[in-house]
Amino acid sequence: MGQVLLEVAVLGPRDVSGAVEGGADRLLLSTPDGLSPEPSVVSAVCRESAAEVHVVLRLNNTWSTTGGEMTRLVGLAEDYLGSGAAGISFGFLDADLEVDADTCGYLSAQLPHVPWTFGRAIDDTLDLRRSWRRLAGLPGLVGVRAAGSPRGLAAGYDELLALASSDPVVARTLVAGGGLVAEQVPWFVRAGVRQLHLDLQARPGGSAKAYVDAGHVRSWRLLLDHAVERNARSAG
């Protein structure tokens, strides 16, 4: 089955050591409000990190973008990659709350061979299964970060787990996150999910004002690895 990839949300270079020392495989960098950071911040984070860094491409607080923004997004992505980022993360919807496959496809085509993840925008779509089908085949896609509901896994866990359990494509690309709790981990692993995301769980007291803590991340790393080992034994 292999190891579960652990992704940790970071906001700047002071979060890096805690995430990496704790066992994070990938860092997701954004501003505190989930937008694109300044290139200087990306450069500082990449210099500190031994793990790969993906950076959020998002210029406003909606899930849409404009032609003018698209030019800037491509430029930002190129700056991020030039600063050492390994990949990017974005996600856009159209006016009907469907995955905007045209916009996402255009952006990925402008950044050939660059791995990217689709963000939590998918939780605002009307049909998760249809949304995954619209994403299938887009070049470079390595993950879809989702909680099953805009309100997080507290509301969307059951539907998301059922979808991953019934569809290998979903299981293979799902990055489960958005209020993940420990008791959900073994079930996601059993369903074939191999990417999980931490946000406030990686910070003392669950506070965005605290820096990512190595001990908090390590406890999740051990939990994930144990779940994978136990699942492999039961399958054997």
Is residue 190 assigned to a domain?
no
Calculate ∠ Cα 77-78-79, nearest 5°: 90
Q: What is the pLDDT of residues 158-204, one digit of tens each?
A: 999 999 999 999 999 999 999 999 999 999 999 999 999 999 999 99
pLDDT of residue 1: 38
Contact 56, 30 (CB under 8 A): yes
Structural domain includes residue 156: no
Q: pLDDT over 90 for what percent of the chain? A: 92
pTM for this structure?
Answer: 0.95
pLDDT in the model for residue 2? 53
Per DSSP, the three-state class of 175 is strand
Three-state SS for 42-107 is HHHHHHHCCCEEEEECCCCCCCCCCHHHHHHHHHHHHHHHHCCCCEEEECCECCCCCECHHHHHHH
Give me the domain span that covers residue 21. Answer: 5-145+200-235
pLDDT at residue 87 in the model: 98
Q: Does residue 181 belong to any structural domain of this protein?
A: no
Question: Cα–Cα distances in Å, from 228 out to 5, 50, 123, 233?
Answer: 11, 24, 26, 9
> 85 with 113: CB under 8 angstroms?
no
C-alpha span between 221 and 215 (Å, rounded): 10
Average pLDDT, the chain: 95
Q: Establish if 173 belongs to a structural domain.
A: no
Gap between the Cα atoms of 73 and 77, Å rounded: 6
pLDDT surpasses 90 at 66: no
Q: How confident is the model at residue 68 (pLDDT cuts 50, 70, 90)?
A: confident
Residue 159 in any domain: the answer is no
> Looking at residue 111, which CATH number applies to its domain?
3.20.20.380
Residue 158 in any domain: the answer is no
**CA pseudo-torsion sign 144, 150, 156, 157:** positive
Report yes or no on 183 lying in a domain: no
| Structural domain total, the chain | 1
Quick check: is 25 in a domain? yes
- The continuous run of DSSP H or E covering 177 comes out as none
- Tell me which of 66-70, 77-81, 128-132 is least confident: 66-70
